[in-house]
Amino acid sequence: MKRCRLTDLTADGTHVLAAMLPGRCLTRGGLSFKAPGQRSHTSDGPGGSDRHVHDDCEAFVILQGRAVMEVDGRSYNLAAGDVVIIEPGEDHHLLADSEDPCVNLWLHAGDKPHWT
């Protein structure tokens, strides 16, 4: 896992996360509005047994609220402005705060543009 703040990012002419997220262009992603206490990629709650991994990196950008990123059994507190890069093969889940749930972007990058 890599972590930074939005203010640490610099655009180099490819995409805004190029310094941290491998690939020539952003290829897929979305905007997620989490419910209080919602845990991504699982149905069994915090500390669940579901595994969620990728063969490529995935970026999470916290736009609003707070969350905990669970990566390979460890927990990292996040707040608005945090950027996390999940490395290939890392089991990961985003757990929204119960009082101030997050709004986040999730993104993947690669060498083929999203429209191909």
pLDDT tens-place string over residues 75-99: 999 999 999 999 999 999 999 999 9
43 has a pLDDT exceeding 80: no
Long-range contacts of 18-24 (CB under 8 A, 24+ apart): 18/109, 20/59, 20/83, 20/85, 21/57, 21/59, 21/85, 21/107, 21/108, 21/109, 22/56, 22/57, 22/109, 23/56, 23/57, 23/108, 23/109, 23/110, 23/111, 24/109, 24/110, 24/111
Residue 7 is predicted with a pLDDT of 87
Domain that holds residue 44: 2-110
SS3 state at 6: helix
CATH code of residue 106 = 2.60.120.10
**Best mean pLDDT range from 22-31, 47-56, 57-66, 106-115:** 57-66
Residue 41 belongs to some domain of the structure: yes
108 has a pLDDT exceeding 70: yes
Residue 10 is predicted with a pLDDT of 78
Instruction: Give the model confidence (pLDDT) of 7-20 as tens digits.
Output: 888 777 788 898 89
Q: Is there a contact between 39 and 45 (Cβ–Cβ < 8 Å)? A: yes
42 has a pLDDT exceeding 80: no
Residue 17 belongs to some domain of the structure: yes
Average pLDDT over residues 43-58: 77
Residue 115 belongs to some domain of the structure: no
Backbone angles phi, psi at 4, to 5 degrees: -155, -175
Q: How many domains does the chain have?
A: 1
Q: 15-29, 34-48, 93-107: lowest mean pLDDT where? A: 34-48
Residue 77 belongs to some domain of the structure: yes
